Every structure is written in C-alpha cells, then in structure tokens.
Amino acid sequence: MTATILGGIGQGLAFLGSLALVDALIPLDRRGSILATYFALVYFSFGTTAIGVGWLATYLDLNRAVQVFAVGIGSLCLVVIALLLCKSPRTKLRSEIITTLQKN
C-alpha cells in the first residue's frame, strides 16, 4: 500500500514538473495546440503501460509481467539519459533552457 501511495505521489509530481516545464517553454500563441499534443502523448503513454502489462500478464503472472515491463521502461530511461548527456550541437539550446527555467 505504501509503495502504491509513493508511486502515485511520484508520478503526480513528475507530471506536474513536466507540465510546468512545457508551459514555461512554449509561446503563448501556440499554447493550446502544444498542450493538447502533450496531453495526448501523456495519456497514450499511460494507456500503453496498462495495456503492455496486461498483455504480458496473459503469458506471465502479473507480478512477473510488472517486473519485466519495469525493467524495459527503466532501460529505455537509461538510454534516453545517456543520449541527453551526450555532447551535441544542441548543447547550447539545452543550456539556454536551463537558464530560462532558473530565472522563473
């Protein structure tokens, strides 16, 4: 029960933080279309997680399906972090974003 509560709090805070980041970076005249796309992607990812675990649970037991899916998502997160940490021509853009966020 405690893990469920902590997981829900963590997901809620991550959602809130990512929404604040998107809101801070988008121009006012495009806010509606960008936020609509953001929400569509967020709900798609939530749905994909539920459907993916449910599909795996038909072949494995539920506990094992959740473990396999968590390892898969965790691995994907590590790949994304590695890609974000790589030096690229866009590094200047990332530093500008961080500077903008620190001002707000």
Task: Give domain limits for the chain.
Answer: 2-103
Does pLDDT of 91 surpass 70?
no
How far apart, in whole angstroms, are the C-alpha atoms of residue 98 and residue 43? Answer: 26
Q: Tell me what the pLDDT averaged over the chain comes to.
A: 83
Threshold 0.75, pTM exceeds? no
d(CA 20, CA 14): 10
pLDDT of residue 64: 92
More confident residue, 52 or 104: 52
Q: Quote the tokens at residue 59.
A: 């072949």
Q: Is residue 70 within a helix (H) or strand (E), and if so which, with residue range?
A: helix 62-85
Mean pLDDT throughout 48-76? Answer: 90
Q: What is the DSSP string of 14-35?
A: HHHHHHHHHHHHS-GGGHHHHH
